[in-house]
Amino acid sequence: MRLTTWSTIRCKKEGTKCKRKKEAKVKVIGLTKKFGDLLVLDNLNFEVREGEFLCIVGPTGCGKTTFLNTLTKLYVPTAGEILVNGIPVDPKTQNISYIFQEYSAYPWLTVKENVMWGLKIKKVPAKEAEESAMEMLDIVGLTKFQDYYPGQISVSMLQRVVIARAFATRPELLLMDEPYGQLDIDLRFRLEDELLKLWERTGTTVLFITHNIEEAVYLGQNIMVLTNKPTSIKTVIQNPLPLPRDVMAQDFVELREHVTDLIKWW
């Protein structure tokens, strides 16, 4: 899938030289998924670079979650393949984390124990696991709540716990399915900023599904726009806006409107 000319136009306009692409971390080739006679994913082809933050947007019900579930092997593709580091995706052997829409902190573990859980599963030495967990808790602002249980903290804190737990294992690929969909706008912006800090600190490759166009423009290095079912890729837009992004800036508003128009007119 070729990138749209948005950033190319900006590079020419500003007289700057666009950076060369890194190696592909994820390569999707002819991905197709059917449920009986219902065609949901129709021949998807694209690549995600090492360390890239890709936001995926499209109409409600177009198959965004189906795509992520195929990546995690919850669904078996009808045709095509997904490669991570050049080999077929396999969450059992590859370091892949998935953050769902629902809050998934373990209620019987403290905040720190939740963040350390993945490291414990991977048999990381206790001292190293604790240091990594505390680093993540510091970034998301939960250090002083480390001994609290999930039932004692707010919804936004719960989502911070889940995000810190995912990044603590330093995953090579992080899949996020509308993790902030149930939060109000102030909490969402705060958590988005913390997410970007974690991403910049770890260099993790992130695929982030959202129905919120402003969120996609705020977070993504690239924005993939999907069509309605049967789902194909309409375009992938490079986002050249520097971090941190100002949602009131003219460039931000123009890009948000551009993505909105792509989704609006089918």
Question: What is the domain extent for residue 111?
Answer: 103-170
- Domain count of the fold of the chain: 2
- Domain assignment present for residue 124? The answer is yes
- Residues 36 and 88 placed together within one structural domain of the fold: yes
Place of tokens 């629902």: 102
In whole angstroms, what is the distance from residue 216 CA to residue 228 CA?
18
Cα–Cα distances (Å) from 225 to 99, 141, 215, in that order, read 21, 33, 13
- Residues 156 and 254 placed together within one structural domain of the fold: no
Picking from 170, 190, 212, the residue at the C-terminal end of a domain is: 170
For residue 153, the model assigns a pLDDT of 94
Picking from 152, 170, 188, the residue at the C-terminal end of a domain is: 170
Residue 250's contacts (CB-CB under 8 Å, 6 or more residues apart) are none
- Residues 88 and 11 placed together within one structural domain of the fold: yes
- Domain assignment present for residue 138? The answer is yes
- Domain assignment present for residue 1? The answer is no
CATH assignment at residue 244: 3.40.50.300
Which residues, given as ranges, of the chain have pLDDT below 50? 1-20, 266
For residue 265, the model assigns a pLDDT of 53
Tens-digit pLDDT profile for residues 183-222: 777 778 888 998 999 999 899 999 999 989 999 999 999 9
Let me know the angle formed at the C-alpha of 217 by 213 and 222, rounded to the nearest 5 degrees: 115
- Residues 205 and 114 placed together within one structural domain of the fold: no
- Residues 121 and 85 placed together within one structural domain of the fold: no
Nearest to 200 by CA among 47, 51, 95: 51
For residue 21, the model assigns a pLDDT of 54
- Domain assignment present for residue 219? The answer is yes
Under the phi-then-psi rule, with left for phi > 0, alpha for psi from -120 to 50, and beta for the rest, what region is 48? beta
- Domain assignment present for residue 36? The answer is yes
For residue 266, the model assigns a pLDDT of 47
- Residues 21 and 74 placed together within one structural domain of the fold: yes
For residue 45, the model assigns a pLDDT of 96
For residue 208, the model assigns a pLDDT of 96
The b-or-e profile of 157-189 (16+ CB within 10 A means b, else e) is bbbbbbbbbbbbbbbbbbbbbbbbeebeeebbb
Picking from 111, 143, 170, the residue at the C-terminal end of a domain is: 170
Residue 119's contacts (CB-CB under 8 Å, 6 or more residues apart) are 128, 129, 132, 133, 168, 169
Are 177 and 215 in contact by the 8 Å Cβ rule? The answer is no
- Residues 180 and 78 placed together within one structural domain of the fold: yes
252's tokens: 């931000």
